[in-house]
Amino acid sequence: MTVTLDVSDLRKQFAIGRPAIDGVSFAVPAGEIVVLLGPSGCGKTTTLRCVAGLEHPTDGCISIAGRIVSSPAADVFVPPRLRDLGMVFPILCGVAAHDGAAERGLPAQASQNGSR
């Protein structure tokens, strides 16, 4: 098993309050798909933003394909564009009025246009 992503003891502390993430560790083997699940505010997005390089962790280590891309203790921070990964942002995140009606209508629209 080759580990492609390794996150060790990740911590992100913002200016005030509790840490957004505190001691998060996980490894993702090459070819695996992983989902972060948890309640709102538990640190899922902050963790992914740290992995992508959009947030600077307070502590811990992130390695991608065996290369350390973030380690505050070692003063290592590889910019997002040099991490060889991508992040897809939700388009309608946080829109309270969104009920999914547009997506439910897509198959009907496609069949009316003769598309499959």
Indicate which CATH number applies to the domain containing 78.
3.40.50.300
CA distance 78 to 33: 23
Residue 85 CA to chain centroid, in angstroms? 11
> Does the predicted TM-score (pTM) go above 0.95?
no
Number of domains in the chain: 1
- The pLDDT value recorded for residue 74 is 97
Mean pLDDT in residue range 86-107: 60
pLDDT at 112 over 70: no
| Residue at 6: amino acid letter | D
52: tokens are 């992508």
What are the pLDDT digits (tens) for 9-27? 999 999 988 999 999 999 9
Domain housing 105: 3-112
